[in-house]
Amino acid sequence: QVQLVQSGAEMKKPGASVKVSCKASGYAFTGYYLHWVRQAPGQGPEWMGWINPNSGGTMYAQRFQGRVTMTRDTSLRTAYMELSSLRSDDTAVYYCAKGVGPSTRFDYWGQGTLVTVSS
Amino acid sequence: EIVMTQSPATLSVSPGDRATLSCRASQSVSRNLAWYQQTPGQAPRLLIYDASTRATSIPASFSGSGSGTEFTLTIHSLQSEDFAVYFCQQYDKWPLTFGGGTKVEI
């Protein structure tokens, strides 16, 4: 069965960076785009961007341009999302989600990684 | 960016009732719309895509309709496990955007 397993919760200070991992199993890792979506407490989800695990190509939402980097390691079937220059309003649960393509719905989600930014 | 507006913010219903949730897009998204269900502490679960197609293993009690800018999710005969928050998401134009959610409560 399809599974996306993310790394554990992180606590960071303002200005720091965080890197979240997402290990995929149960499907052809390089056949489907992986998206990153975050959800602040009590808010709707917010799409951050995608990575094409086959080519390594990426697309980021404009508001995260310059602060986010998405990468993958095909040998480990793992995708990564790194967010830099953290602010308190980056406190959220970060999800990886499998998409059929670049512009799509998300049929499987990771369990989420809570990132807390606080001094 | 396309703004997705959901209404109502909270819907109070009883088990066995029918619930009707609305999602409005600030511009046409054709039928490129999905609905998700989220329970506390869990990731969203895909219910409906392409406005009206049920995802794998989703019961027929969930149905979606609409196109363009107006969409509806209907839950027929609410069960206890259906009390949750529901989000819509458009995937017609970048950036992909979600609504703020409707909480279905007893």
Pairing of strands B45-49, B53-54: antiparallel
> Could you tell me the pLDDT band of residue B100, with boundaries at 50, 70 and 90?
very high
pLDDT digits (tens, 9 = 90+) for A35-85: 999 999 999 999 999 999 999 999 999 999 999 999 999 999 999 999 999
Q: How far apart are CA B95 and CA A30, in angstroms?
A: 23
Question: Which of B91, B92, B97 is the best substitution to test chain A (most A C-beta atoms within 10 A)?
Answer: B91
Q: How far apart are CA A112 and CA B12, in angstroms?
A: 28
> Could you tell me the pLDDT band of residue A102, with boundaries at 50, 70 and 90?
confident
Distances (CA, A) of A63 to A66, B60, B72: 9, 38, 29
Does residue A100 have a pLDDT over 90?
Answer: no
Does residue B106 have a pLDDT over 90?
Answer: no
Q: DSSP assignment, residue A31? A: G
Distance from CA of A89 to the nearest CA of B (A): 17
| Chain A: residue whose CA lies nearest to B102 | A44
pLDDT value at residue A101 = 81
pLDDT value at residue A65 = 94
Question: Which of B49, B96, B97, B103 is the best substitution to test chain A (most A C-beta atoms within 10 A)?
Answer: B96
Q: DSSP assignment, residue B71? A: E
Nearest of A44, A116, A27 to residue B88 by alpha carbon: A44
Tell me the pLDDT of chain B averaged across its residues. 96
